[in-house]
Amino acid sequence: MFSRFTRAIVRPPSPNFADGLTTVDIGRPDVALALRQHAAYCDALARNGCEVIRLPADARYPDATFVEDTALILPGLGAMLTRPGAESRAGEVDAIADALLRYFPTLAQIGAPGTLDAGDVCEAGEHVFIGISHRTNADGAAQLSTWLQQFGITSCTVDIRGIDGILHLKSGIAALEPRRLVLIEALANHSAFAGYDVVRVPAGEEYGGNCVRINDVVFVSAGQPAFDARLRALGYTLEVIDMSEYRKMDGGLSCLSLRF
Ligand code: CIR
């Protein structure tokens, strides 16, 4: 893994985006602004080497813009449909399957009673961290782990159910390199991450933990200046993207695209 991405699937928010799920109380999103932020995100993907594959907005599922949760793609290896842990998002999977079948002849799929949101899946080189969350259960994680084994990819679980403020594992972790992780403080001392080079997210800037490495740059959300400075000091070039409207719906940078 850590191959270069050449494509990214995205879906803009629908007019009823504000009716999606959220656990935060920081206001209702402005859909017009969310659309402008989405366009800026797509421009940044295109600038950094990705063909942007735009799916139509889908008002049946207000959370459908968070395409990342519906599938896991291992570039050059295969793809797996998930089984989202939130009832209201279950139907998103069929819609993403149609898009993925153009690129992958077969798709694996998480089956009941397993549930898994791919926002809980963090790939770091030949190892994958799988969050056990209020969306992803142990059965879903075990199914994913078995599927990964055929590619020689190891995995382990990280239980995040006791950590406040993060919906998915990737709300608080990102892999910058196979052996270098961004971690929020609440995850930084977890034994799963022992031996990794860790870039800690400064207190108060936890939302920055959901950054995403895209080819030669790191996409970061606007508003985390101390974190940005840490990444720049390590030599990273940043694409700073305003995510204010997605944050209101518990979404981050990684959730808005499926990259391969
Ligand atoms: C949800 O609750 O499912 C959406 N409102 C947000 C999903 C964010 N996805 C992600 O972090 N991968």
The CATH number of whichever domain residue 242 belongs to comes to 3.75.10.10
Is residue 96 one of the residues assigned to a domain? yes
**Calculated CA dihedral for residues 124, 126, 132, 135, nearest 10 degrees:** 80
Ligand 1 touching residue 119 (CB < 6 A): yes
| Catalytic one of 42, 50, 211, 255 | 255
At residue 25, the pLDDT reads 92
Q: How confident is the model at residue 2 (pLDDT cuts 50, 70, 90)?
A: low
Give the range of the structural domain holding residue 52, as residue numbers without chain letter: 7-259
Please give the DSSP secondary-structure letter assigned to residue 134: S
Residue 1 has pLDDT above 60, yes or no: no
Paired sense of beta strands 154-159 and 71-74, if any? unpaired
Residue 209 has pLDDT above 80, yes or no: yes
Mean pLDDT of the region 91-98: 96
Mean pLDDT of the region 88-106: 96
- Ligand 1 centre and the CA of 220: distance in Å? 17
Closest CA to 208 of 234, 233, 230: 230
At residue 142, the pLDDT reads 98
Total tally of structural domains belonging to the chain:
1
* Neighbour tally for 199: CB within 10 Å: 20
Is residue 225 one of the residues assigned to a domain? yes
Mutation test residue for ligand 1: of 28, 63, 83, the one with most atoms within 8 Å of CB: 63
Is residue 1 one of the residues assigned to a domain? no
Active site residue 190: no
Is residue 248 one of the residues assigned to a domain? yes
